[in-house]
Structure 1
């Protein structure tokens, strides 16, 4: 029997359709502005991702086409951000975002072109099963992510390196993943606290390791633990209860990799929206 991990009840707007339409409109407006203001990519990506997560609060299984559209748009913004960042200065990139082809100037290395943003963009490409964008993201140099000036634990760069190595089938995956694991020691952290590491940041590494180890039982045990720890962290108090934790994005993405590899997924949870996990909407429209 699958393990069920429920999400706390959500008390949303009395007019969910109207609420989502207003949020979608603001997000599209921000996306429209990117053609004139690519320096707003960081805020626009955050807005698009929050909009996708909000859709899953009202639509926990991602059963509605509008929810899929929101997740695709977030994925498209994240990938466009890095396409713009890696384009030569003075050039433009052609990007499909929210059903429209857009011409966006190169933005260069900005503070938001960092490893954390890269991970979010990559997970979204995995969830949306966009292999071309996954490959594009995996060709982003790690040196460029470091150049953003953003401060991260060193393990993050090894984690990005391991994911790029896995997807591009480069040698050295084992060593790079070991380096990422070594950097998660809670006693040596400089920028994140112990609880965040143990409950949110570390579990996806362990889950990914179980995935590449091809042990379905161990994978599902790790998936249960990852989702339970995610829930425990993001529901610990009212301050943490936000859209950030309403979908377990990294565990969901790795579960998508496992699902696509034919592995059984024995966890049911609103934190892993069913129709995103089983790619029900794939091919619904051009992305």
Structure 2
């Protein structure tokens, strides 16, 4: 009896699996996958927006912008059209793809609005606090080395929440998707801080996957005016895409840095030196040292005997 029930249970599981398989939508091999379609549509809409801005006399550029998207993703217009027909017949799949595309376009729009605010000298003020992430750009950037996707740049003006001795740490995680490039074609990461009195900058080459950080700090250069930075990925001989994510730009006020602790330590040491002219010695040694100084001063003040001058008779 138990064996019969077990067999019936196995048959039920098999029938359920066949039923679920039959309910799934079968996708032809010629249809672009969801992940790739998201990237294609994202670049497609940016290219369309760029084409709408060109004057009528240069309308041919609109076609070139679209074709550059196809070349970037290794597809043809026929592949794109065929896939869009399939997605149009399956609105659930198309909706999921467009939700992700819209999120990326919104982030891009926020970045553009920030640049417009910079142009109009109306930047968004950073949040107050001793340890704050002031990064305002995209937190994920996909770089391929092509002209449309070979760099990430930012310009961040200071505001009333920035202090003179702030420490700025720009952190990015790099992940090479198709093997690491040679040192000649490695991505460059650079940051520059403009102060009232001078400028500090630092740059490094990213030669392997991992997290990279650039930290800049100045003690005597005065007020911070602006922070700039970029990631540049030179053109590659073969496709080696890199994903830059977990991007942050931390601002630390001086009391949260090692400099503050060092300054306090030096100040305390100066006070101790003034209070104790011979630090670290016991009272007896200090007394002996004072007695030696007194004896030396007395001997210097004591008049020395004059030597009698004699002359030899020739």
TM over 0.5: same fold?
A: no
How does the TM-score come out when normalised to structure 2? Answer: 0.24
- Tell me: higher relative CO, structure 1 or 2? Use CA pairs within 8 A at least 6 residues apart: 1
Bigger helix share: 1
Greater strand proportion:
2
Q: TM-score, normalised by structure 1?
A: 0.25
